[in-house]
Amino acid sequence: MNFENTWYLIEWHGRTKVVSYEEFSKLGKNEFVLIENFATHHEALMEYQRLIKLEIADAKEKLNPLKSGKIT
Amino acid sequence: MGNVSIANNKLCGVWIDVLNPLQPDFNIDEKRLLAHLRNLSAKGFERFVLFGYAGEGASFTNDEKLSALKRVISEGVEPSNICLGINTSAIVDAVTLINKAYEKGVKRFLVTPPIYYQPLVNESITDFFENLLKRVGLADWQLYIHQLGGAADAPEASLAELCRSHSEIFCGIVDQDTHVNHTMDLVKSFAGQVLVIPTHEANIQILRPNTAISVMANLIPNVLKHVLENQGVSQAIKIAGMKIRQPDERISELQKIMTNYPSTAAMKLLLSQHYRQSEWGLVRPPQGKLGNDAKESLIKAFKSFNLTADE
């Protein structure tokens, strides 16, 4: 597979971010963790957005004991 | 790629027994499959068994397989990095699929022995493969016979006969049996003649082969690579707040999580958790799906497994 025009969703210093192949190639081997690769910037951003929404939903779930059924 | 000979280029290293993502109507989700292959490739793992055991190969038609194959090749997966599962007792279907995939550049095929209404004798199995090889009529391809264990196995006498008569095409035996002794018996009988490739990760840890086909590699490809390359101590995996884990231990942990569940359905559920895409959990009937209790228990165990993205 050719990755030259693709985009990477990575975890970098505790943050999730989207980087181009060019930026990705400049990162040190142990500087990041690869989450997913995408053919387009749009797809990478959409996935990034989806994961953020899921994290927000998870956080809400944890913060809302009534909804999670821990307090009745 | 079409003119490059693969005669001396047998399977080597980790080949991922690729899980097949499905749409809600149980058709193949080609877009999601491609995304999965892209992610694995970006991590440095580009060798795939498509429609093998974990890929529910027996549940898909030739047309479905060819459509998926066409899509992944057109999107950049090298045909030389594909080994295609052939699972049918109808010899014409098997030949058609091999020839059509070969036209797309695929030259490695993982073929299951035929099954029939009553047990088959050695000669019948040998005849099936002899006839298959004759009808395919190509010189430059590789046949790997897929031993599923028990009554579905091709008998050793047939394998030995095929070794003698088709040593240039018959390149290996892929052992799906979970018992290490089963694989070791094959190694004793066929070492030096054809490759014997284990698939059960616990056996890979014991046998330390040069080649393995692994379903776990869908989720933890780097761990499998380290085990195969014998990099145990130096490649320890650091998990925040936990002791350092060796690759062998990670395989054992994952094996323990999945031990009481059908492996394909369980691994798909774990991959659905990894990607946070519930669609990955679907399996096509007749593959057994997981009940709600099983799902809940597996998801809980997977959270404790604490998968890191670099595994």
Contact A11 B46 (CB under 8 A): no
Digit-by-digit pLDDT tens for chain A (72 residues) are 889 999 999 988 888 999 999 999 999 877 888 899 999 999 999 999 999 999 999 899 888 876 666 665
Tell me the pLDDT band of B240, cut-offs 50, 70 and 90.
very low
Contact B309 A54 (CB under 8 A): no
Contact B309 A35 (CB under 8 A): yes
Domain ranges for chain A, please list them.
7-68
Output the pLDDT for position B243: 52
Selecting from A33, A39, A50 the residue whose C-beta is nearest the C-beta of B309 gives A33
Higher pLDDT, B78 or A29: B78
Contact B41 A37 (CB under 8 A): yes
Shortest alpha-carbon distance between residue A72 and chain B (Å)? 22
Question: For the residues B173-191, what does the mean pLDDT come to?
Answer: 96
Residue A35 with chain B: CB contacts under 8 Å: 309
Q: B9-68: per-residue pLDDT in tens?
A: 889 999 999 999 999 999 999 999 999 999 999 999 999 999 999 999 999 999 999 999
Query: B77 pLDDT exceeds 90?
Result: yes
Best of B30, B33, B41 to mutate (most A CBs within 10 Å, chain A): B41
Selecting from A37, A50, A51 the residue whose C-beta is nearest the C-beta of B42 gives A37
Output the pLDDT for position B151: 82
Q: B273-308: per-residue pLDDT in tens?
A: 999 999 999 999 999 899 999 999 999 999 999 887
Count CB atoms within 10 A of the CB of residue B184. Answer: 16
DSSP string, B76-91: T--GGGEEEEE--S-H
Rounded to a whole number of angstroms, the distance between the first and last alpha carbons of chain B is 31
Contact B309 A34 (CB under 8 A): yes
B176: burial class by Cβ within 10 Å (0-12, 13-18, 19+)?
buried
Output the pLDDT for position B265: 97
Alpha carbon separation from A58 to A11, A52, A64, B12 (Å, rounded): 19, 10, 10, 42
Shortest alpha-carbon distance between residue B264 and chain A (Å)? 22
Place of tokens 């055991």: B53
Rounded to a whole number of angstroms, the distance between the first and last alpha carbons of chain A is 53
Shortest alpha-carbon distance between residue B308 and chain A (Å)? 9
Output the pLDDT for position B242: 47
A37 touches chain B (CB under 8 A): yes
Query: B108 pLDDT exceeds 80?
Result: yes
A34 touches chain B (CB under 8 A): yes
With beta carbons less than 8 A apart as the criterion, state whether B5 and B140 touch: yes
With beta carbons less than 8 A apart as the criterion, state whether B39 and A38 touch: no
Selecting from A2, A39, A51 the residue whose C-beta is nearest the C-beta of B276 gives A51
The two three-digit tokens of residue B1, written as one number: 């790629």
Tell me the pLDDT band of B234, cut-offs 50, 70 and 90.
very low
Percent of chain B with pLDDT over 90: 82
CA angle B284, B287, B289 (to 5 degrees): 85
The radius of gyration of chain A's CA atoms, rounded to the nearest angstrom, is 16
Query: B227 pLDDT exceeds 60?
Result: yes
Domains and CATH numbers, chain B: 13-232 (3.20.20.70)
Percent of chain B with pLDDT over 70: 93
Backbone angles phi, psi at A52, to 5 degrees: -65, -45
In the chain, the amino acid numbered A7 is W
Q: Which residues make beta-bridge pairs with B144?
A: B110, B172
Q: B130-160: per-residue pLDDT in tens?
A: 999 999 999 999 999 999 988 889 999 999 9
Tell me the pLDDT band of B113, cut-offs 50, 70 and 90.
very high
